[in-house]
Amino acid sequence: MSARPQAVPTVQVDNAEVIVTEWRFAPGAETGRHLHGHDYVVVPMTGGTLLLETPEGEKRAPLVAGQSYFRKAGVEHNVINGSDHEIVFIETEIK
């Protein structure tokens, strides 16, 4: 059981084509380990550093506000806010 706070997802759109979710991470907050079932695009609203716990080990990923990135379905990780401030991003999953 993790002692970390949980990231807060707010689903903004969920239709036949996409799921759009706003994610808010307090410092140290995490999503919990999960597997992405869809291709997805992340649009960071704030800058910061994500700590990713993956099957291959820990990785750090810098976020730059407004600089989007794409990932294919099948990514498995736990996403943790490695910054000392809130991180917010919009995730669009493509069904």
Q: Which CATH superfamily is domain 8-94 in?
A: Jelly Rolls (2.60.120.10)
Domain boundaries, the chain: 8-94
What 3-state DSSP class applies to 2?
coil
Instruction: Point out the residues of the chain with pLDDT beneath 70.
Output: 1-2
Q: What is the 3-state secondary structure of 10-27?
A: EEEEECCCEEEEEEEECC
What is the predicted pLDDT for the residue at 38? 98
Asked whether the beta carbons of 79 and 87 are under 8 A apart, the reply is: no
What is the predicted pLDDT for the residue at 6? 97
What is the predicted pLDDT for the residue at 2? 55
What is the predicted pLDDT for the residue at 3? 85
Here the tokens at position 37 are: 């079932």
What is the predicted pLDDT for the residue at 8? 98
Interatomic CA distance for residues 82 and 91, integer angstroms: 18
